[in-house]
Amino acid sequence: MNEQTASADVLESVPALEGEGASRVALTSAAVDLLRELVERHGRLMFHQSGGCCDGSAPMCYPAGEFLTGDADVLLGVFTLPDVPEGSAELEFWMSAEQFEYWKHTHLTVDVVEGRGSGFSVEGPTGKRFIVRSRLME
């Protein structure tokens, strides 16, 4: 398995798709900071990215295991959050398989902006929300 990489601005995931060597998803430092706060309140977390109607294509953050994944989902990457207790540090990023078909040529970066998060995502009460920025894979 490949090593997770970090720079001053982003934390890249360890690739999770078989045969892939490059990260498909990253977290900005602002996203990592918010995730640390959320881990303190909720324990280990996960992301699921869908093309859903209610919250558009916002990445949804849940306590790990609260959103059930299956054959209709693709695990894009796994992060180890820095400065988080070991049992809560691992964070998986999932995407619906249908959405992945549209986005399979993109690299995603999860960032944070001011504003109300979705009703189902754990950052909702913080006054901040997660967003995804995308670029073509290199």
Read off the pLDDT band of 53 (50, 70, 90): low
DSSP 6: B
d(CA 54, CA 61): 15
pLDDT of residue 120: 85
Residue 79 included in any domain: yes
Q: Which CATH number goes with the domain that contains 47?
A: 2.60.300
Read off the pLDDT band of 95 (50, 70, 90): very high
Domain count of the fold of the chain: 1
Which structural domain, as residue segments, surrounds residue 126? 10-136
Residue 130 included in any domain: yes
* 118: pLDDT strictly greater than 80: no
Are 5 and 23 within 8 A, CB to CB? yes
Residue 1 included in any domain: no
Are 90 and 108 within 8 A, CB to CB? no
pTM score, two decimals?
Answer: 0.90
% of the chain beyond a pLDDT of 90: 78
Count of CB atoms situated within 10 Å of the CB of 110: 27
* 53 φ, ψ (degrees, to nearest 5): -80, -35
Site of tokens 């490949």: 2
Residue 124 included in any domain: yes
